[in-house]
Amino acid sequence: MKVFKFGGASVNSADAVRNMARIVQNHLESETLVVVVSAMGKTTNLLENLVPGTAANEDKAALRRQLEEYHLSIAKSLIPNEEGIVDKVRGLLSRLDGTIASLTPSEEQYNFNYDQVVSFGELISTTIIAHYLNHLGINTLWQDARQLIRTDDHYREGRVKWVETQQAIQNSEFIIHNSYSVVITQGFIGGTSSSFTTTLGREGSDYSASILAYCLGAKSVTIWKDVPGFLNADPKFFSDTVKISQIPYNEAIELAYYGASVIHPKTVKPIQNKGIPLYIKSFITPENEGSSIGEYKTIVPETPLYIFANNQILLSILPRDYSFIAEDNLQVIFGILNDLGIKVNLMQNSALSFSICINNNPQLVRPLIDRLKSMFRVRYNENLQLITIRYYTQEVIDRIVAGRPILLEQRSRSTEQLVVPATSMI
């Protein structure tokens, strides 16, 4: 059994879905192919504006019409004169309307509301694609990921309950009957024991594929992207990128942790535990080799790798009485960070202060600062960029920093990290 994952860009139009279907057809074997699919195109962004309590700049009724017209145009283009798929899409949109109407628009409920609404992007996309594959004569099962991937109730960052997830997958219809060529399921979403929907973090579809591969003991995972493989930098900003052909598991975990956009941070560990190789290939040129992550000793080729995290905020936390930052202070700070589910991208402490660089998410940063200010003095800088360079040289650092002031810097044998003011140049 193999697992494929297709992101939103690979299914953002009828032609893109046809291309995805050709890739699937070309990889059909005697064993079932499990295909994890994201929401189509920018659907997630649109749905975010429909979450109750969101102050959308656009008219929500217009956004709702846009959502329906977009998906129905794809469905009708794929399967002309087929009312069944139209009815299914409209039925899901009707359920979305009912879900939105049932939710309470409040800041305290926002994360819960978000997961219940935004998850419809994946439900609609996989419904259309499963219907289309069956239309092509491929024996395909649509599977609800919320019944497979079981999580706690930490909304927007659902934590996987591995024992329950393993049991759910082993008891699923496609395992018991084992008669399907393809299983289509959703990335990004899971379900709680109370039957509420959770999400696994933004761009969490890769993680979904990894969870399924681990529980199924899959032969491999292939993530289909709009790039030729794992590149040493974002091609949107670098014209001379280098494709990395092979990456050791531990290196991939490091790069994902630092924010490499091609891999979700949690993706690698489950497959590493079972030695399952991960391939990154292009859905534009699927015949090309791409990149592979596995049991390698070194990265090939060895070249500087650049990761840029934008929209960062740097907080400096100081005791009110000008005393030393001690273990009890750090315990309180980390407790607050854990309560709010905030990931620290970079941290540094001195005798009198503790500094952290985090994503500037207002819905998390505002309560964080408020809670910290009740016990500490807090200073912060916004509109920052966190630059991570693996296999750096001083020449590389100087070129990337380009004369900007460095607010925070950490350097190890192989990794340089710098917090600098953001610039449109990168």
- Which region, left, alpha or beta, applies to residue 68 given φ > 0 means left and ψ of -120 to 50 means alpha? alpha
226 contacts 42 by C-beta, under 8 angstroms: no
DSSP H helical segments within 324-384, as ranges? 327-340, 362-373
Task: List residues bridging with 281 in a β-sheet.
Answer: 224
Q: Are 368 and 332 in contact (CB under 8 A)?
A: no
Query: Which has the closest alpha carbon to 38: 80, 8, 72?
Result: 8
User: Which residue type occupies 36?
Assistant: V
Beta carbons within 10 angstroms of residue 377's beta carbon: 14
CA-based Rg of the chain, rounded to a whole angstrom? 23
> For the purposes of burial, counting CB atoms within 10 Å of the CB of 310, is it exposed (0-12), middle (13-18) or buried (19 or more)?
middle
pLDDT at 57: 61
Asked if residue 270 has a cis previous peptide bond (ω within 30° of 0), the answer is no
Please give the single-letter amino acid code of residue 344. V
**Helix 60-78 / helix 120-135 crossing angle, nearest 10 deg:** 20
Region(s) of the chain under CATH 3.40.1160.10: 2-225
**CB 379, CB 313: distance < 8 Å:** no
Low-confidence residues of the chain, pLDDT below 50?
424-426
- Paired with 33 in beta bridges are 2, 182
Q: Where are the alpha helices (DSSP H) in 57-119?
A: 60-78, 83-102, 110-118
Rounded Cα distance, 86 and 210, in Å: 32
In the chain, ranges of CATH 3.30.2130.10 domains: 305-421
Looking at residue 56, its pLDDT comes to: 60
Output the pLDDT for position 55.
Answer: 67
| Cα–Cα distance measured from residue 240 to residue 238, given in angstroms and rounded to the nearest whole number | 6
DSSP letter (8 states) at residue 232? S
Task: Output the six-digit token pair for 426.
Answer: 């990168």
CB count in 10 Å sphere of residue 6: 28
Asked if the 305-421 domain carries CATH number 3.30.2130.10, the reply is yes
Decide: 355 and 408 in contact? Cβ < 8 Å.
yes
CB atoms within 10 A of CB 260: 24
Question: How far is residue 213's CA from residue 44's CA, in Å, rounded to a whole number?
Answer: 24
Please spell the DSSP secondary structure of 270-328, one letter per residue: HHHHTT--EEEEESSSTTS--EEEES-SS-BS---EEEEEEEEEEEEEEETT-----HH
Q: What is the pLDDT of residue 264?
A: 79
Q: What is the pTM of this model?
A: 0.87
- Domain 2-225 part of CATH 3.40.1160.10: yes
Cα→Cα distances 352→205, 325, 376, Å: 41, 5, 11
Angle between helices 120-135 and 83-102 (to 10 degrees): 170
The string of pLDDT tens digits covering residues 53-71 is 876 666 899 999 999 999 9
Cβ pair 415, 388 in contact under 8 A: yes
Looking at residue 324, what is its pLDDT? Answer: 83
ω into 301 cis (within 30 of 0) = yes
DSSP, collapsed to helix, strand or coil, labels residue 384 as strand
